[in-house]
Structure 1
Amino acid sequence: MTVTETETPLLPSYVQGEWWTPNEADVQRAAEVRDASTGELLTRVSTEGLDLAGAIEYGRTVGQRNLGELTLHERALKLKELAIYLNERKKDLYEVSFKTGATKVDNMIDVDGGIGVLFTFSSKGRRELPNSNVIIDGNMEPLSKDGSFAGEHIYTRIPGVVAQINAFNFPIWGMLEKFAPAFVAGVPTLVKPATPTGYLTEAVVRMMVESGILPEGSIQLISGSARDLLDHMDYRDMVAFTGSASTANALKAHKNVVEGGVRFTAETDSLNAAILGPDATEDSEEFKAFIRVLVTEMTAKVGQKCTAIRRVLVPKGMEDAVVKAAGARIEDKIVLGDPRAEGVTMGALASTDQLKDVKGAVEKLIAAGGELAYGSLEAPAALTAAGTKEVVADGAFMSPVILKWADADADAVHSTEAFGPATSVLTYEDLDDAVRLAARGEGSLVATVCSNDPQTVQQLTVGIAGHHGRVHVLNRENQFTTTGHGSPVPHLVHGGPGRAGGGEELGGIRSVKHHMQRTAIQGSPNMLTAITGVWHTGADQQIAGCEKYGAQPGNIHPFRKPLDELKIGDALASDLRLVTIEDITDFANETGDTFYAHTDEEAAKANPFFPARVAHGYLLVSWGAGLFVSPAPGPVLANYGLENLRFITPVPAGDSIRITLTAKQITPRVTDEYGEVRWDAVIHNQRDEIVATYDVLTLVTKEWPEMYPKDKEAITK
């Protein structure tokens, strides 16, 4: 061991609530990690002696317990706190990230992008999920004639840990985009970053721990090898892998995955395509947009993106124009060098080993028939941090390269990925041929279709969608607003079939549910209500209002109850209201809704759905509000919408309607003095036939508002 090695510290892990580093005396071999631009030794990495089994058990026990004490909304709010905390410190992360070869723009993708994922999942978690730990999936299914037995599906968090094995190219975004949905779901995370850039992941995890925001056990970090990780996992746990297909296949073959039930999702190799439509001539806006996107994908993160464009499919005869335009843009926009030097727009690959791999892949492609149409594999001159331009012997710099192929069906171009600033241009005969060539990637994360012809876009998109996880459609309308070919957004699914791994990440709330178990539950409406915290039809009600329809003496109008008093099942039953022909006519005249079913007796009778002229559905809903409203000021602040409205039985003049309103779901807001209440609304006619069903959404104070008299005895007569 050299003096330099001895003086270079080992990168710590964070396990079982504390930072851990191997004893130097026990370390037989530590991986060296160097600055991508200069070759300077930064740290050494080893996990010799690390108790992986203990870390997993710590997550299952301490992490599960502490996360389980919070609701979905409370965990989502902590993500926002964490995002704000990291956002205030992102410049410190930039300084570390420069050592990975990332430029300022690359940092915005990785650092800012990762923090942005936290903000997004915080917002979506509080907006789209209940403030509980049970998520209902779909509608209740009646399983008995009398309604006493029913079933439905629920999501609850898995009882283990999620091990997140990440690639080297996005040490912050790659970790946070997996951590965020797992945390909202309530599942502890065990992060295993790739060794070449794991020091940046360590820096952000250290900030997360020091923030004090996260419950203990929420996150642990393995800095280095974790070869026996799966040996300690079982059906309670999950692996979320990003990396090579060969490694993913080896992990998926582990006994605990094949037989033990460990959940496994993978995002692996991907020979993504970009297709230039035949309508995109050289002078078109689409051609210019296509070139911009292509060069961006070649050079952002030095092409080290699982979503980068590896195959460029263009109409026959356009290949030279595309190569020339892309080369010109590279010459004009790209400055290669140390990211710490002013003006640099493309940095170094993550390591010299990565540089060797990328060059080797390009050489393999050339040997298989690819022609080097732009760029060189010679060591390029790069701008150093000192401002000089020179070949840096220990730097992992590479020039962008573009290959052309005389044979678009050469096997190598559809099977070999050069994971760097390299792409191949292929030509197609017609749209069917373009679809066929795109599909030869055998499953990809993303493809771009660039055209301003709707028929072309439709044919290409439908043709390739089954082979891709995402299709990015580019034209003149969105060329300056697109998030890009290679930028997964937290709202949409990231993943792809076949070679791309067959997994899914992100996708908004979908990814939260990836960390949960869907379970079918069966029982009486009362028991389903107890399990889910949501009132089910047939469950007990505490009814106020009209005694004829079930009101119990002493029950008060539920609108007179703040959230600290309102209970699931609190309800109001109104009396009947007669519908007259004058009511229908007046509503038609006032609103302008003179549809014949409401205004023409003979035409209405001829309609198979109506017995005669009938009341407008919106008139019935308006009357419903009049029948259930409590007009005096009180806890109800606002009605902010209706959902799931269905009109079932028509109401002619002479019929009467009544409404039953039941508190169905109560969602207090963590940050406000009010919350949402979802009310189950059912309108019946005088024959007790259901006329309409819908949900009423209101905002209700948590306590009785001080500015209003506490007239809680008022009920609707």
Structure 2
Amino acid sequence: MTTAPEAPATQTSAVTVVPSYVRDAWWTPDTEALGSGRGAQVRDASTGELLAVVNADGLDLAGMVEHARTVGQKSLGELTIHERALKLKELAQYLNGRREEVYALSSKTGATKIDSMVDIDGGIGVLFTFGSKGRRELPNTNVIVDGPMENLSKDGSFAGEHIYTRIPGVAVQINAFNFPVWGMLEKFAPAFVAGVPTIVKPATPTGYVAEAMVRLMVESGILPAGSVQLVSGSARTLLDELDYRDMVSFTGSAGTANMLKSHPNVVHGGVRFTSETDSLNAAILGPDAGPGTPEFDAFVKSVVTEMTVKAGQKCTAVRRTIVPQEFVDDVVAAIGARVTERVVVGDPRAEGVTMGALASLEQLHDVRGAVESLVAAGGRIAFGSLEAPEVVTASGEKSVVADGAFMAPVVLTWDDALAPALHGTEAFGPVSSVIGYSSLEEAVQLAALGAGSLVASVCTNDPATAQALVTGIAAHHGRVLVLNREDAKSSTGHGSPVPHLVHGGPGRAGGGEELGGIRSVKHHMQRTAIQGSPNMLTAVTGVWHTGADRNLADTDDPSTHPFRKSLAQLRIGDAVRSGLRQVTLEDITAFANETRDTFYAHTNEEAAAANPFFPGIVAHGYLLVSWAAGLFVSPEPGPVLANYGLENLRFITPVPAGDSIRVTLTAKEITPRVTDEYGEVRWDAVLTNQDDEIVATYDVLTLVAKEWPVPVAEG
């Protein structure tokens, strides 16, 4: 075994060996393993040229897991969620400037420039998204509070709630061949924000592209030690090294997923396992969306796009095109016409090519075999052929390339729309079946026969049809796109998962979820119920809890007011309690007249008294909230730079004329911004009346300077 701090191009017989990245160093097998002929050969999908050898013989998988659990966990744990999210943004900016290097490699996989953009730019975009969402939606700590406190005692001395903390192990990410960059980064990003180190295991045929991206990630110098490692080649015994502290995220075939899920360490050892597997996705055309409508055109365009982007090698591609029976021939003809007009098959490096090769000759063999089995089960090829197509070569000439993994788009039709093979066999290439339905109920039934899918599209401009189809199929799918004339141009498309929303599906699709915004960060964390006194819950979470100690300001000393404290001085529990202010009928009437909010509860004594909720005319809730601001604010310029809103407002006890109110304001949560000279402070606001009954509760949100006076920059 050889290791080196840098990543030189390792050669054997003039062929590159794809290295692994192990314990913060690049690694390739020793000379004996390289000379043995073992390992997998990786070839250019368009020409058959030998590109590299992939061999992981002798790789210390146990050492990689231990390195992640120790060095990786420690280095990531030294950063807060916001600091890790910021590093993702920095990494995305770095990779954006180097992505052309990866584009050049991606074309060797058969990917066109658009295919590569979806994979590479899409993956970098995931980093940007989580870099932003992590800082906007999560605290600048390593503990996430999940939901409100539950009071568990009469006197408030014992309470409980839930928190999220990162799992203490490693996230093993096993990826498919079709998206070597996006597939890796969409798993890496949420794990990194959560603070969990990653071991990436890309699929062998395109793993050299993933290795190139990991190389750039390492060269950036942005990532903490141990936060990412790469296995290039077989990792058959990797699950042997995992336990309940770790998780596996798998994308690939259902057969491989089932094999991994049956591993003793998953079944008995508590290894968390989530998968995204085979998916016979559907696109359903509504009865209202016949030929000549904008919906019909958008539908055909979507189906052809899903058949041809990445040569149909997408887990989200449309495999079953479900249309009203009377439109079957129209849809087949329209798909064929669009393919003929717009799809040019060939080497993606050639000018004008819009669909490249499949990833390998083995993949081509598998797809052809799947189509042949579908034909044997009752399908008919209505458009296209399984013959090797004439394609555009890199030189611009047209010919049949014997060593290229090229396949023309194929459309199948069926007499029996219920044929089991139709709903059970996935041809993972540029292939789709068009089948007819006679009612919306039958369309729902056909979609559900996929036994769980990642995504479906419903194309209609009729709200009732959309409602019936979406609610009918939703439980069978992870995502549903409703396509019509209003969103046809702005839609991200049937086959484009976005990092904001969950990516996954039930049943055959694997039963897992990837992405999903902050949900996917929490996939890498443990939710724990904690119980204790409000003071102890405050200490654990860093968020002030009702009933915990307060540090009340001295009302005779304005300098102790929490609004006079910068973030450097402010502490959780710092509070101020105002004096009472009486509400008069004149105040209520003036507010009603000024705002034109003359709702009868504020203006009509008889009607208000007849309402079971009011004792008579009562003050407007917004009058009370406005007064509360005047009661707690410190008006002179100071560290509190701005009030940017309030949340969770609840009005609890009505306030009639003659009652008085006061406000107690407590620093609840302090979130310094990593990149700015200020941070957010969330204040717990409680309005009470003269009898200490709670009138209203809410959170006040402010921006507060880290230091005050703000230091003057030199120069």
TM-score normalised by length of structure 1: 0.97
> 1:644: which partner in 2?
648
> Structure 1 pair 623/446, CA: closer, same or farther in 2 (3 Å)?
same
Amino acid at match of 1:647: F
Is the partner of 1:199 in helix, strand or coil? helix
> 1:466: which partner in 2?
475
> 1:419: which partner in 2?
428
What residue ranges of structure 1 are gaps of 5+ in the alignment? 548-552, 709-717
Q: Deviations 1:154-185 (Å, cap 9, x if unpaired)?
A: 00000000100000000000000000000000
Count of residue correspondences: 700
Q: CA deviation at 1:6?
A: 2.3
Give the alignment of 1:100-139 within 5 angstroms: 100-139=109-148
> 1:657: which partner in 2?
661
1:20 to 5, 24, 27: 27
- Asked whether the equivalents of residues 451 and 457 of structure 1 are also in contact (C-alpha less than 8 Å), the reply is yes
Q: CA deviation at 1:706?
A: 3.9
CA–CA distance in 2 between the matches of 1:532 and 1:341? 57
Q: Deviations 1:609-634 (Å, cap 9, x if unpaired)?
A: 00010000000000000000100001
Give the alignment of 1:196-211 within 5 angstroms: 196-211=205-220
Q: CA deviation at 1:281?
A: 1.3
> 2:539: which partner in 1?
530
> Structure 1 pair 707/516, CA: closer, same or farther in 2 (3 Å)?
closer
CA–CA distance in 1 between the matches of 2:16 and 2:92? 29
CA–CA distance in 1 between the matches of 2:80 and 2:223? 14
CA–CA distance in 1 between the matches of 2:595 and 2:620? 11
CA–CA distance in 2 between the matches of 1:112 and 1:100? 16
Q: Deviations 1:469-527 (Å, cap 9, x if unpaired)?
A: 00110000000110000000000000000000000000000000000000010111111
CA–CA distance in 2 between the matches of 1:619 and 1:5? 79
> 1:564: which partner in 2?
568
Is the partner of 2:644 in helix, strand or coil? strand
> 1:191: which partner in 2?
200
Q: CA deviation at 1:546?
A: 4.6
- Does 2:370 align with 1:361? yes
Is the partner of 1:414 in helix, strand or coil? coil
Q: CA deviation at 1:103?
A: 0.4
Give the alignment of 1:285-434 within 5 angstroms: 285-434=294-443
CA–CA distance in 1 between the matches of 2:576 and 2:88? 38
Q: CA deviation at 1:24?
A: 3.0
> 1:282: which partner in 2?
291
> 1:712: which partner in 2?
none
Alpha carbon RMSD of aligned pairs, Å?
1.1
1:32 to 34, 41, 47: 41
Is the partner of 1:413 in helix, strand or coil? coil
- Does 2:77 align with 1:73? no
Q: Deviations 1:237-282 (Å, cap 9, x if unpaired)?
A: 0000000000000000000000000000000000000000000110
- Asked whether the equivalents of residues 438 and 464 of structure 1 are also in contact (C-alpha less than 8 Å), the reply is yes
Q: CA deviation at 1:364?
A: 0.5
Q: Deviations 1:575-611 (Å, cap 9, x if unpaired)?
A: 0000000000000000000000000000000000000
Q: Deviations 1:449-470 (Å, cap 9, x if unpaired)?
A: 0000000000000000010000
- Does 2:599 align with 1:599? no
Q: CA deviation at 1:705?
A: 2.7
Amino acid at match of 2:174: I
Q: CA deviation at 1:327?
A: 0.6
CA–CA distance in 2 between the matches of 1:256 and 1:706? 55
CA–CA distance in 1 between the matches of 2:51 and 2:13? 12
Tell me whether 554-563 or 13-22 shows the greater mean CA deviation: 554-563
Amino acid at match of 2:415: A
What residue ranges of structure 2 are gaps of 5+ in the alignment? 1-10
- Does 2:152 align with 1:143? yes
> 1:686: which partner in 2?
690
CA–CA distance in 1 between the matches of 2:295 and 2:530? 52
Q: Deviations 1:127-171 (Å, cap 9, x if unpaired)?
A: 000000000001101111111111100000000001000000000
Following TM superposition, the consecutive aligned residue runs of length 4 or more in structure 1 with deviations greater than 3 angstroms are none
Q: Deviations 1:623-659 (Å, cap 9, x if unpaired)?
A: 0000001000010110000000000000000000000
Identity of aligned residues (%): 74
> 2:7: which partner in 1?
none
2:623 to 613, 616, 619: 619
Is the partner of 2:296 in helix, strand or coil? helix
> Structure 1 pair 624/545, CA: closer, same or farther in 2 (3 Å)?
farther
> 2:14: which partner in 1?
7
Q: CA deviation at 1:87?
A: 0.3
Amino acid at match of 1:623: W
Q: Deviations 1:13-59 (Å, cap 9, x if unpaired)?
A: 00111000001312441100000001000000011000000000000
Q: Deviations 1:172-231 (Å, cap 9, x if unpaired)?
A: 000000000000000000000000000000000000000000001000000000000100
Amino acid at match of 2:328: E
- Asked whether the equivalents of residues 370 and 404 of structure 1 are also in contact (C-alpha less than 8 Å), the reply is yes
> 1:698: which partner in 2?
702
CA–CA distance in 1 between the matches of 2:16 and 2:674? 43
Give the alignment of 1:551-590 within 5 angstroms: 556-590=560-594
- Does 2:55 align with 1:46? yes
> 1:714: which partner in 2?
none
Q: Deviations 1:296-332 (Å, cap 9, x if unpaired)?
A: 0000000000000000000012111001001111111
Q: CA deviation at 1:107?
A: 1.0
Amino acid at match of 1:695: D
- Asked whether the equivalents of residues 543 and 555 of structure 1 are also in contact (C-alpha less than 8 Å), the reply is no
Q: CA deviation at 1:9?
A: 2.3
CA–CA distance in 2 between the matches of 1:103 and 1:403? 25
- Does 2:230 align with 1:221? yes
1:609 to 606, 613, 623: 613
- Asked whether the equivalents of residues 545 and 574 of structure 1 are also in contact (C-alpha less than 8 Å), the reply is no
Is the partner of 2:16 in helix, strand or coil? coil
- Asked whether the equivalents of residues 545 and 573 of structure 1 are also in contact (C-alpha less than 8 Å), the reply is no
CA–CA distance in 1 between the matches of 2:169 and 2:399? 52
Is the partner of 2:63 in helix, strand or coil? helix
- Asked whether the equivalents of residues 376 and 401 of structure 1 are also in contact (C-alpha less than 8 Å), the reply is yes
Is the partner of 2:451 in helix, strand or coil? coil
- Asked whether the equivalents of residues 274 and 312 of structure 1 are also in contact (C-alpha less than 8 Å), the reply is yes
Is the partner of 2:636 in helix, strand or coil? coil
Give the alignment of 1:198-277 within 5 angstroms: 198-277=207-286
CA–CA distance in 1 between the matches of 2:89 and 2:701? 25
TM-score normalised by length of structure 2: 0.97
> 2:675: which partner in 1?
671
CA–CA distance in 2 between the matches of 1:546 and 1:459? 62
CA–CA distance in 2 between the matches of 1:288 and 1:11? 45
- Asked whether the equivalents of residues 542 and 555 of structure 1 are also in contact (C-alpha less than 8 Å), the reply is no
